[in-house]
Amino acid sequence: MNQKLTDWFKLDNSGKIFPEVSNQRETNTFRVQVALTEEVDSDILQMATEGILERYPMFKVRMKHGMFWNYLDYNTKPFLIQPMTHEVCSALNPRENNCYLFKVLYRNNMIAIEMFHSLADGGGVVMLLQSLVYEYLKLKGYNVTPDNIIKTKYERPVAEEYEDANEKYYNAKNRKHVPEQRAYRIKGTMLPDNLTGLISGTMDTGKVLELARSKNLTMTEYFSALAMDVIYNTQIRYRTHLKSNQAPVKIFVPVNLRKHFPSETLRNFSNFVKTNLVLDRDDITLEELFEHTHESFQNGMIKEELIRKMSENVAFEKNVLLRFMPYFIKRYALKIGYNMLGMKLNTMSMTNIGRVVFPPSMEPYIKDVTAAVAAGKYNAVNCAILSYKDQLKISFTRSILETNIEREFFRHFTEKGLDLKVESNFVEEFV
Amino acid sequence: MKHCDKCNITIETKQQYCPLCHQVLSGESNADARETYPDYISPRRMFLPTTKKVILFLTILSIVILIVINWADFDGRYWSLIPIGGIIYFWFLVRVGLFSKRNIGFRFASLTVLLILLLILIDYEGQSQIHGWSIDYMLPLLLMTCNLAISATIWIRLLDYRDYFLYLLVIILFSLAPIILVLTGITTVSWPAIAAFGVAIAILLFIVFFFPKKIKEEIKKRFHA
């Protein structure tokens, strides 16, 4: 496979909407971060990044405007790593970033990648980060091996990594549009200057899994139901007569479609399942929410339903009217459409990246792994979950000052006797 | 390690409060403990924001005054358009021409087009007896200059040639306009139009002969639907 075969890429289906609807507050970026057991050497990290970008031409791109759609074009400018600042998942600044659509950040013993969602989803970024850390440790002179888990820079990129898998698996016959109701929005005091708060808690994976299994649930189902319960208890209960509290609480959970369809793509290939329940009684119990969550996730995960949701989006993109509308008009059409339909459909997003595996030879150098997604005006509190070895790390990002959702969420586990170690960026001290 | 008795959590920090419940933490942090996340740094101040505001205010104020005077003393001519056009062009020159980090091809092309429009405005709204100089001389000669400027840029910065290709093509297309004006008899002076046409065709032929694949690909990228 010749890597110079093409030096530009069409945006994938989900990637097309993000450039139009992103701004300083709704940044649509997310972060995956590795803490090593030793200090990060920024010069070696810069070298490792440059080496890895040759392996992943998919990420060595900048966005350009075409007549009808944006596209990703090969970026000739050098990529520069940056020291981490107080900003979490902030908007990408093309000027300080040479127009790249992702950042590599370092601080003390941490390496982080912040990615714009047009380019890849969580699965793709984890692969990139694994390669980067491997390359870094290799350049440091440690004896690490890839063990077929990690793509190294000595391999050639393959075409499957760039494919738009949505387009491949969509079915034009199964694309019924199901209208949705506006979701409940978490209330709070917005943080100024587009600041984002980050609080993460680390627990033992086995114990949490035991807890979920005891209710016959998966971990994601358990967390989603718990998040609903926390939102209900802190924001809705005994205030159900208010009009705004009668909207359904919807926890948006991305589904990694690579596990459901045979695809190796690095680009966006995910869909979602959602909880959807109006919490308008004063006596809703956690058990009830467990049941609802389990049921709606089971139904959402059926293959026909996943294909339907995928095809709904692809069909929208293939609409002749939209397709041949010049870009400068289309961007406003997309923006208005998203503001009316897309943005307000979720209360909270809860991303479960799953287990991140490193080869045994690398594990002694890696302390923990963290993920975080951007929080905005409508999804004021978001959550990202990830496990590495026996540590389960739950990270909440928020655009509001209040922390009662995080507090109640974590207290649920500490009350059950689990040990919880917390990290925070103490955003409340900034203002 | 510090501990919050209320939330029953442990945390490694030099801060005094629990991030979840904002109660005082108990225990001592390790001597070599560091904050996980960096401290707040206030964002950089923008380039002289007050100066910019003052200039913008004066600009808009003068535009309003010009319109008011023109309207109050209206004699069938919209003379205020000329200074207003000049002011707007000045703003574009500063914003796009000097302080913008945008693609230089875009800056050349947009400023040229704006300058041509401004000159046509001055030509036909001005009090001079001689009309048509803007279309006869300025239009073809400015397009020709722009053509040469973008070509020179591509020549000097060959690495980023793809960034400028499109603007070059647009200006080449525009350069064919004066020759049409000559052929239809709208303009009487033909030599500037012919010169501009010649330069445009020469550059176009050069691209077609030496970069046929690249130009094809660039067009494919820009026009995929």
Write the DSSP assignment of B181-201 as a string of letters. HHHTTS-S--HHHHHHHHHHH
Residues of A in Cβ contact (< 8 Å) with B38? 84-86, 107, 425
Residue A80 near residue A73 (C-beta atoms within 8 A): no
Q: Residue A418, by phi and psi: left (phi above 0), alpha (psi -120 to 50) or beta?
A: beta
Domains A8-169 and A192-429 share a fold: yes
Distance in angstroms (rounded) separating the CA atoms of residues A382 and A214: 26
For A192-429, which CATH class? alpha beta
Residue where the block lists tokens 């690249």: B214
Per-residue pLDDT band at B215 (split at 50, 70, 90) = confident
Rg from Cα positions in chain B? 29
B19/A403 Cβ within 8 A: yes
Q: Which two tokens mark A42?
A: 């920024």
A429/B222 Cβ within 8 A: no
Q: What is the largest CA-CA distance in chain A?
A: 64
> Within 13 A of A167's CA, how many CA atoms are on the CB side?
15
Residue B86's identity, in one-letter code, is G
Q: Give the CA distances from residue B209 to residues A362, B167, B205, in Å, rounded to whole numbers and listed in that order.
A: 53, 19, 6
CA nearest neighbour of A431 among A191, A194, A85: A191
The edge-to-edge listing of strands for the beta sheet with A82-83 is A82-83, A102-107, A110-116, A29-36, A366-373
> Within 13 A of B109's CA, how many CA atoms are on the CB side?
21
What's the pLDDT tens digit per position in B26-61? 988 887 778 889 988 877 666 667 888 888 899 999
Mutate: best of B37, B163, B166, partner A, most A CBs <10 A: B37
Q: What are phi and psi of A118, to 5 degrees?
A: -65, -30
pLDDT reported for residue A395: 96
Distance in angstroms (rounded) separating the CA atoms of residues A327 and A336: 14
Name the residue facing B7 among A95, A414, A430 (closest C-beta): A414
Distance in angstroms (rounded) separating the CA atoms of residues A96 and A24: 15
pLDDT reported for residue A2: 43
The residue in chain A having the minimum alpha-carbon distance to the alpha carbon of residue B219 is A66
Per-residue pLDDT band at B67 (split at 50, 70, 90) = very high
CA angle A250, A255, A260 (to 5 degrees): 145
pLDDT reported for residue A342: 72
The residue in chain B having the minimum alpha-carbon distance to the alpha carbon of residue A370 is B36
d(CA B31, nearest CA chain A) in Å = 16
Contact residues for A38 (Cβ-Cβ < 8 A; gap 6+): A109, A365
Hey, where are the domains in chain A? 8-169, 192-429
Residues of A in Cβ contact (< 8 Å) with B225? 67-69, 323-324
Say if residue B6's pLDDT is above 60: yes
3-state secondary structure of B26: strand
Residue B188's identity, in one-letter code, is T
Distance in angstroms (rounded) separating the CA atoms of residues B10 and A341: 42
Say if residue B130's pLDDT is above 90: no
Residue B215 near residue B208 (C-beta atoms within 8 A): yes
Rg from Cα positions in chain A? 21
Question: How do A110-116 and A29-36 pair as beta strands?
Answer: antiparallel
pLDDT reported for residue A4: 54
A429/B15 Cβ within 8 A: yes
Q: What is the dihedral of CA A323, A329, A334, A336, to 10 degrees?
A: -150
Residue A155's identity, in one-letter code, is E
Contact residues for A400 (Cβ-Cβ < 8 A; gap 6+): A186, A187, A188, A189, A190, A191, A197, A380, A381
Q: Is B37 on the interface with A (CB under 8 A)?
A: yes
The residue in chain B having the minimum alpha-carbon distance to the alpha carbon of residue A94 is B101
3-state secondary structure of A49: helix
Say if residue B1's pLDDT is above 70: yes
| Other CB atoms within 10 A of residue A312 CB | 16
What's the pLDDT tens digit per position in B172-198? 888 888 888 888 888 888 899 999 999
Residue B105 near residue B78 (C-beta atoms within 8 A): no
Residues of B in Cβ contact (< 8 Å) with A66? 221-224
3-state secondary structure of A118: coil
Q: Under CATH, what is the fold of the domain A8-169?
A: Chloramphenicol Acetyltransferase (3.30.559)
3-state secondary structure of B40: coil
Q: What is the ipTM of this complex?
A: 0.83
Please state which of the ranges A137-146, B102-111, B160-169, B214-223 shows the lowest mean pLDDT: B160-169
Q: What is the rounded average pLDDT for all residues in chain B?
A: 87
Residue where the block lists tokens 């359904």: A248
Q: Is B204 on the interface with A (CB under 8 A)?
A: no
Burial B5-31 (b: 16+ CB within 10 A, else e): eebbbbbebeeebbbbbeeebeeebee
The residue in chain A having the minimum alpha-carbon distance to the alpha carbon of residue B3 is A421
Q: Give the CA distances from residue A94 to residues A63, A91, A116, A399, B175, in Å, rounded to whole numbers and listed in that order.
A: 10, 9, 12, 23, 33
CA nearest neighbour of B119 among B103, B151, B142, B148: B142
What's the pLDDT tens digit per position in B137-172? 999 999 999 999 988 988 888 767 777 888 888 888
Residue A353 near residue A126 (C-beta atoms within 8 A): yes
Low-confidence ranges of chain A (pLDDT < 50): 1-3
A407/B21 Cβ within 8 A: yes
Name the residue facing A423 among B36, B160, B217 (closest C-beta): B36
Residue A357's identity, in one-letter code, is V
Distance in angstroms (rounded) separating the CA atoms of residues A181 and A178: 10
Helix/strand/coil percentages in chain B, nearest 5: 65, 5, 30
DSSP B135-189: IIIIHHHHHHHHHHHHHHHHHHTGGGHHHHHHHHHHHHHHHHHHHHHHHTTS-S-
Say if residue B95's pLDDT is above 70: yes
Q: Which of residues 205-224 of B touch A (CB under 8 A)?
A: 217, 221-224
